[in-house]
Structure 1
Amino acid sequence: MNIALLGYGRMGKEIEKIALSREHTIVHKIQGNITTYDFTNVDVAIDFSIPTAAFENITHCIQQQIPVISGTTGWLEKYDEVVALCEEKNGTFIYASNFSLGVNIFFEMNSYLAKMMSQLEDYNVTIEEIHHTKKLDAPSGTAITLAEGIMQHSNYNHWKLDKAENDDEIPITAKRIPEVPGTHEITYTSAIDSISIKHEAHNRQGFALGAVVAAEWIQGKTGVFSMKDVLNI
């Protein structure tokens, strides 16, 4: 595949290594204005840019009939606009708050645990996420996805950064510590005990590999997909 990297920070560089090792070609490494680049020979774009650039990057690719994979978080208030544009242009798009295989298994574990705990009113749930100090958004997109998974199977209706103000809110603690790729922990606590599940990334390779696998999977397809489609889970 000929790949355009939208964003060439730490994740972009890691994706480049994985893509080259799988015999793909990087044709663009874009940090600035995407409209100045020629996408004629691009098979797929992988967006790990910044929240303020992601929407323009994604919509430009869809308008150019370029399949696009996005792992940028912090822009999702415009997600429905992207879906509508994708349907209008018969485009191809995958968004994931986290492309790691392990994290996507963790998402499924989180949903399953939430179903079990929904019958136990004595437990309160909290989410903690830890990332490197260069991460621009808080809480992480992964933490929000985890909160949404819990809300689908419980009486919680909202998440709240830091301390919850109402009983139907899930409190999310976001910590920023140098050189931490990403750690997420769900804890259910009662007066008697606590139950926790945790995912800890040791490096960025899992995120990068998942994005490249998604880019490979999406070839020849049209529509809006998720990592559950890619991994068939």
Structure 2
Amino acid sequence: MKVALIGYGKMGKTIEQILLDRGHQVVLIIDKDNLHDLNNTNLQQADVAIEFSNPESAVHNMLACFDAGTPVVCGSTGWLSRKEEIEKACTVKNAGLIHASNFSLGVNLFFELNRSLARLMHPHKEYAVQLTEIHHSAKLDAPSGTAISLAEQVMESYTEKARWVNSPSDNPADLYIESQRIDPAPGTHTITYSSPIDDISITHTAHSRQGFALGAVLAAEFLAGKKGIYTMRQVLGL
């Protein structure tokens, strides 16, 4: 499989090593110093692109991949206000896309556990629900995309929650996500149900970037040669 890497920070370098270890070829690397190389001719060399840049660049990068006819796996977060626009563009261009707030196998299993626990807890009104996420200080967006996904999953059952918020709120329609930035934490997410009698919590703690990077590579292997919009649930058969 020939891969274009868009974004060559710590995550991009980890993904590159996993690609090489799995026998794939990196045919294009795009970073802030060679953005002019992000064009149709160069992208068309690749069977699939893996995009881990930043919220400001991600939309432009995905659109460039659609124009080139190159399926793209996007792991950037912080751009979801334009999700509808991107998914429409993907469909119009007959392109391929997987975007996820988190590609880790463990996190995607955790997502399933989160949905199930929320369904179990919702009838028990004595329990209040709250989310906490901890990341390193270089994390650009808060709350994390993973925390937002977890909150949205909780709200599938807690329909009385109208929105998530990133600061304490007395509004019962708000679901609070507490964001902490502590080095060198790669990422910890906790959902807690608290009552006057006891607390119930589930937590996922990442120990390194390897899990995220491997999941992105698995997604790329799944997406290569495909058209349409897919999710990590489909990649992992969940």
TM-score class, shorter: over 0.9
In 2: Cα distance, 1:34 partner to 1:84 partner: 25
Structure 1 ranges of 4+ moved more than 6 A? none
- Indicate the residue corresponding to 1:169 in structure 2: 174
- Written as runs of structure 1 = structure 2, the 5 A alignment for 1:29-178 is 29-32=29-32, 34-37=35-38, 38-154=42-158, 155-178=160-183
Superimposed CA distance per residue, residues 58-112 of structure 1 (whole angstroms, 9 cap, x where no aligned partner): 0110111000000100011111111101110110000000000000000000000
- Indicate the residue corresponding to 1:5 in structure 2: 5
In 2: Cα distance, 1:9 partner to 1:136 partner: 13
Pairing partner for 2:231 from 215, 221, 226: 226
% of aligned pairs identical? 49
- Indicate the residue corresponding to 1:196 in structure 2: 201
TM-score, normalised relative to structure 2: 0.95
Task: Tell me by how many angstroms 1:164 deviates.
Answer: 2.2
1:185 aligns with 2:186: no
In 1: Cα distance, 2:169 partner to 2:77 partner: 22
- Indicate the residue corresponding to 2:14 in structure 1: 14
Q: Which runs of 5+ in 2 are unaligned?
A: none
Q: Which runs of 5+ in 1 are unaligned?
A: none
Q: Is the 8 A contact 1:35 1:60 kept in 2?
A: no
- Indicate the residue corresponding to 1:207 in structure 2: 212
Q: Is the 8 A contact 1:34 1:57 kept in 2?
A: no
Task: Tell me by how many angstroms 1:34 deviates.
Answer: 4.1
Give secondary structure in 1 for the equivalent of 2:143. Answer: coil
Task: Tell me by how many angstroms 1:40 deviates.
Answer: 2.8
In 2: Cα distance, 1:46 partner to 1:172 partner: 28
Query: Would you say how many aligned residue pairs link Structure 1 and Structure 2?
Result: 233
Superimposed CA distance per residue, residues 109-163 of structure 1 (whole angstroms, 9 cap, x where no aligned partner): 0000000111011111110000111110000000000000000011222111021
Pair 63,35 (structure 1): closer, same or farther in 2 beyond 3 Å: farther
In 1: Cα distance, 2:179 partner to 2:28 partner: 33
In 1: Cα distance, 2:19 partner to 2:89 partner: 28
- Indicate the residue corresponding to 2:26 in structure 1: 26
In 2: Cα distance, 1:44 partner to 1:34 partner: 18
